[in-house]
Chains A and B, each alone.
Chain A
Amino acid sequence: MAEERETHPVPDEAEELQVISIRKLDKIETTGFDSNSHGQ
């Protein structure tokens, strides 16, 4: 049986999780190209 653990995140981290969600894009959602590419 898995051990149950109670976690106590610091207040600002706990609040961050509730307030804002930053979702990294999947590869399929990006084009992989940048029309501003340059070669200086």
Chain B
Amino acid sequence: MTRRHRMPKVKPEHRPHRLDGGTIRIGGDTYGIAAEIHDPEGWVWAALQLMNGTHDPDTIATLLSERFADLPLTRAAAVVSALMASGYIEDAAAANPSGLSAREFDRYSRSRAFFRRVDLTPREHDWELQLKLKRSRAVVLGLGGTGSHVAWALAAVGVGEIHCVDHDRIELSNLNRQILYTEDDIGQFKADVAANRISRVNSDVTVTRSRRRIENESDLARLVEGYDVLALCADEPRGPENIKVWASRACAAAGVPWAGGGYSGPVVTCGVFAPPRGACYECVSAQAVAKRRPGIEVDLGGPGVIAFSAGISGQMVAQSVVSLITGVPDPMPGTLRAMNLAVLGDHDVFRAPPRADCANCHPLTSSRDRS
């Protein structure tokens, strides 16, 4: 149902302009946001000009109808209504919501503008997504190259509760990429330092920590219990029953969506999973592997990672976590994406359907015994 704004106003980020032939471009030149409106009579352009936050919808419709003799009031109202449903219009009369402090309105003012541009869902006010973040609880498992960036980003954007988990201590060789640590921290537990540091980045979020090592799927299931989302940034154990498989199964059973990421040399990857929305990690991964030529060894190992490969990995995971929480943009669960830093512009997105016999994707019909 169309949301009715009290005082419609074109979002400043979507300011329209007219092209030849009466076509209106709105939302700039960004794929996924920009749109064009065919407007030979000039009705839509006139409506957009009136949507400046000083008129209510009925007044705008009346003014349009008075200006254009061939535009009945009902159709003018429909033009106004359609524009309000488009996502390019905000309500200038919307008050700041309760639930965020004056300091948070200031702190997140740029995030608000970011969401206002990316989010094309009509909303009562443009703090809705920030409130969703504040009311969310996230686990960051692994606080190394990827996870340190994730923990920082989730604190910076205002995820309300962040649980930092890592059993490891900080080493000098971590400092080429792990953003939360300094030379003074060498030898200390990552969980302690990371939690302290992101608490100082944003004291409006609640940060907890754990130095524990995740030993099995049951450990992971207990870890995510009660949380809204998991950021999986740990890479051990590896092998057939690796930590991603544990996350896939534990999160599917608990109904907790998750994002995970990492790097293999220059190839940075990030996956997003929330079965039954989209396929689970095991389904997507198996079908990605099946595309390879048999016999190809992909995981060449080695310690090759640098500040920007870790940072991109972590920020991709952080963005995925935020999209899982807010729905903006569509997180497209069941997707792996990759960026090859060895070749400029080599980005890849891989999606695959759930396999018919997958217990994560079809929990009610599968007979797989996980006990």
- A22–B30 CB distance below 8 A: no
Residue interface bits A16-36, CB-to-B below 8 A is 1, else 0:
101111111111011111100
Complex interface: chain A residues within 8 A of B38 (CB): 21, 23
Asked if A1 is at the interface of the complex by the 8 Å CB criterion, the answer is no
Q: Complex: how many Å from CA A31 to CA B30?
A: 7
Interface size on B, residues (CB 8 A): 24
The total of interchain contacts (Cβ-Cβ below 8 angstroms) comes to 62
Q: Complex: how many Å from CA A25 to CA B5?
A: 25
Q: Given A12-B2, A30-B29, A34-B29, do A22 and B78 touch, yes or no (CB 8 Å)?
A: no
Complex interface: chain B residues within 8 A of A15 (CB): 74-75, 77-78, 81-82
Interface residues of B in 27-45 (CB under 8 A from A): 28-32, 34-38, 44
Q: Identify A20's interface contact among B28, B29, B31, B44, CB under 8 A.
A: B44
Complex interface: chain A residues within 8 A of B35 (CB): 22-25
Asked if A3 is at the interface of the complex by the 8 Å CB criterion, the answer is no
Asked if B153 is at the interface of the complex by the 8 Å CB criterion, the answer is no
Residue interface bits B71-86, CB-to-A below 8 A is 1, else 0:
0001101110111011
Interface residues of B in 1-60 (CB under 8 A from A): 1-2, 26, 28-32, 34-38, 44
Most buried by A among B32, B38, B44, B81: B81
Asked if A2 is at the interface of the complex by the 8 Å CB criterion, the answer is no
Complex interface: chain B residues within 8 A of A20 (CB): 37, 44, 78-79, 82-83
Q: Identify A34's interface contact among B30, B81, B85, B86, CB under 8 A.
A: B30
**Residues of chain B having any CB pair with chain A under 8 Å:** 1-2, 26, 28-32, 34-38, 44, 74-75, 77-79, 81-83, 85-86
